[in-house]
């Protein structure tokens, strides 16, 4: 990367508030790590102190922000600093390898698989009997597309992804390295002192424009389908159990676990390390804070919940305040006991 303040301002259609248009920029970084050669951005009010202290050569800011006068770097006002910075990173960052049509000589494609001529299949990938892959899809090295699995158009299937037999993947889906789609659900029946396996013979259906992070596992249904709705984004190391129905445009953050047969509505947010019990129903647009434990259904849409068991934000803050007051309460009780003891004497 080698550019100038003026060139960056023009690229993001920003307005130069302060600084030298000719100042050279060669990198990008967070506010607290940037130096005079870097582009950075201010997109969250909690980083206000970092904005005041940054040594960045250029900072993208909202039009209404005020910055102390002794800040040495340039300031460029944009409508959305986060999106503008993303545009710069896409232009100058480390990009994935270009899409190259073709099947590696080291890949295996079963003669009974249907593969569009305009796909890319990396070395040591396997496409098994009856599988179908749509136009413009990339299959990474070492990935496995199981028997009868279907992948739509313009998908990016990362290295070592496994899409098990019969599972269905929509268009423009991104599966990061190590994702497993369609592993057996965790189903056992305790009979005569032993855990007897219950067969998991359903599939997973993934809607269009879904993105799933590295090493996430989505279990196949015991019967019917486990469903991930259109536009949903799932972080790394998430576990979704058999027969779950996840709605459209949800956000599910790292290390969250969702037990089997739970139904989650549209636009639901599960922050990091949430745990959701099985056979529950969660209404649309509900948000759960990090490490929430969801053990009962939530029927009212739009609420925000925290804690274990998950409760409304108001209830959680009230209970947290009561816990903080326990020390003072205990001291008061001891003082009262001491006074009563002296009075009895």
Nearest to 112 by CA among 88, 133, 136, 95: 133
Question: Which pLDDT does position 45 carry in this prediction?
Answer: 86
Q: What is the mean pLDDT of the chain?
A: 92
Q: Does residue 323 lie within any of the structural domains?
A: no
The Cα–Cα gap between 224 and 203 comes to 7
When pLDDT is averaged across residues 182-200 and rounded to a whole number, the result is 95
Q: Which of 136-140, 295-299, 329-333 has the lowest mean pLDDT?
A: 329-333
Nearest to 284 by CA among 317, 318, 247, 251: 247
Q: Does residue 340 lie within any of the structural domains?
A: no
pLDDT digits (tens, 9 = 90+) for 249-285: 999 999 999 999 999 999 999 999 999 999 999 999 9
pLDDT digits (tens, 9 = 90+) for 218-253: 999 999 999 999 999 999 999 999 999 999 999 999
For residues 244 and 286, membership in a common domain is answered with: yes
Q: How far is CA 313 from CA 240, 293, 304, 306, in A?
A: 25, 14, 6, 6
For residues 153 and 248, membership in a common domain is answered with: yes
For residues 55 and 84, membership in a common domain is answered with: yes
The Cα–Cα gap between 135 and 113 comes to 14
Question: Which pLDDT does position 70 carry in this prediction?
Answer: 60
Angle made by CA atoms 231, 88, 17, in degrees to the nearest 5: 120
Question: Which pLDDT does position 327 carry in this prediction?
Answer: 79
For residues 308 and 180, membership in a common domain is answered with: yes
Domain count, the chain: 2
When pLDDT is averaged across residues 191-219 and rounded to a whole number, the result is 97
pLDDT range class, residue 335, cuts 50, 70, 90: confident
Q: Does residue 337 lie within any of the structural domains?
A: no
For residues 53 and 125, membership in a common domain is answered with: no
Q: Enumerate the active-site residues.
A: 242
DSSP, res 307: T
Residue-number span of the structural domain to which 57 is assigned: 3-92
Of residues 332 and 40, more confidently modeled: 40
For residues 177 and 273, membership in a common domain is answered with: yes
For residues 65 and 107, membership in a common domain is answered with: no
* Domain boundary residue, one of 92, 117, 148: 92
pTM of the predicted protein model:
0.84
**Distance of alpha carbon 48 from its chain centroid, rounded?**
25
The Cα–Cα gap between 16 and 208 comes to 39
pLDDT range class, residue 345, cuts 50, 70, 90: low
For residues 182 and 291, membership in a common domain is answered with: yes
Cβ–Cβ < 8 Å for 316, 306: yes
Whose structure tokens read 């019969």? 166
Domain containing residue 39: CATH number: 3.40.1390.10
Nearest to 185 by CA among 127, 262, 249, 125: 262
pLDDT digits (tens, 9 = 90+) for 98-125: 889 999 999 999 999 999 999 999 999 9
For residues 41 and 148, membership in a common domain is answered with: no
For residues 59 and 138, membership in a common domain is answered with: no
Question: Which pLDDT does position 293 carry in this prediction?
Answer: 96
Q: How far is CA 329 from CA 113, 226, 325, 326, 334, in A?
A: 71, 50, 6, 5, 9
For residues 136 and 222, membership in a common domain is answered with: yes
pLDDT digits (tens, 9 = 90+) for 1-24: 899 999 999 999 999 988 899 999
Cβ–Cβ < 8 Å for 187, 205: no
For residues 17 and 120, membership in a common domain is answered with: no
For residues 160-193, one letter each, b for 16 or more C-beta atoms within 10 angstroms of the residue's C-beta and e for the rest, the string is: bbbbbbbbbbbbbbbbbbbbbbbbebbbeeeeee
When pLDDT is averaged across residues 195-217 and rounded to a whole number, the result is 97
Question: Which pLDDT does position 1 carry in this prediction?
Answer: 83
Q: Does residue 130 lie within any of the structural domains?
A: yes
């Amino acid at each position: 990367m080698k550019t100038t303040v003026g060139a960056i301002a023009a690229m993001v259609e920003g307005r130069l508030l302060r600084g030298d248009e000719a100042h050279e920029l060669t990198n990008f970084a967070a506010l607290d790590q940037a130096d005079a050669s870097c582009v950075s951005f201010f997109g969250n009010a909690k980083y206000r102190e970092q904005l005041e202290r940054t040594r960045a050569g250029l900072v993208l800011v909202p039009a209404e922000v005020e910055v102390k006068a002794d800040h040495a770097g340039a300031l460029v006002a944009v409508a959305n600093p986060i999106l503008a910075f993303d545009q710069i990173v896409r232009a100058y960052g480390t990009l994935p390898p270009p899409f190259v049509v073709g099947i590696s000589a080291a890949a295996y494609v079963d003669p009974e698989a249907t593969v569009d001529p305009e796909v890319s299949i990396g070395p040591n990938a396997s496409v098994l009997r009856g599988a179908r892959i749509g136009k413009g899809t990339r299959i990474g090295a070492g990935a496995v597309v199981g028997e009868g699995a279907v992948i739509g158009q313009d998908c990016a299937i990362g290295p070592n992804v496994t899409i098990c037999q019969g599972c269905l993947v929509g268009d423009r889906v991104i599966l990061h390295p190590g994702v497993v789609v369609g592993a057996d659900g965790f189903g056992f029946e305790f009979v005569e002192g032993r855990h007897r396996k219950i067969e998991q013979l359903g599939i997973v259906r993934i809607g269009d424009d879904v993105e799933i992070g590295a090493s996430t596992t989505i279990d196949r249904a015991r019967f019917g389908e486990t469903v991930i709705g259109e536009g949903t984004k799932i972080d790394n190391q998430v576990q979704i159990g058999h027969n779950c129905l996840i709605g459209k445009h949800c956000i599910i953050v790292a290390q969250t676990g969702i037990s089997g047969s739970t139904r989650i509505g549209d636009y639901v947010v599960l922050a990091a390390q949430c745990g959701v019990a099985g056979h529950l129903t969660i209404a649309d647009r509900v948000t759960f804070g990090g490490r929430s434990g969801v053990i009962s259904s939530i029927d009212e849409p739009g609420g925000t919940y925290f804690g274990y068991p998950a409760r409304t934000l108001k209830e959680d803050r009230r209970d947290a305040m009561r816990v903080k007051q326990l020390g003072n309460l205990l001291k008061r009780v001891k003082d009262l006991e001491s006074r009563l003891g002296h009075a009895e004497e």
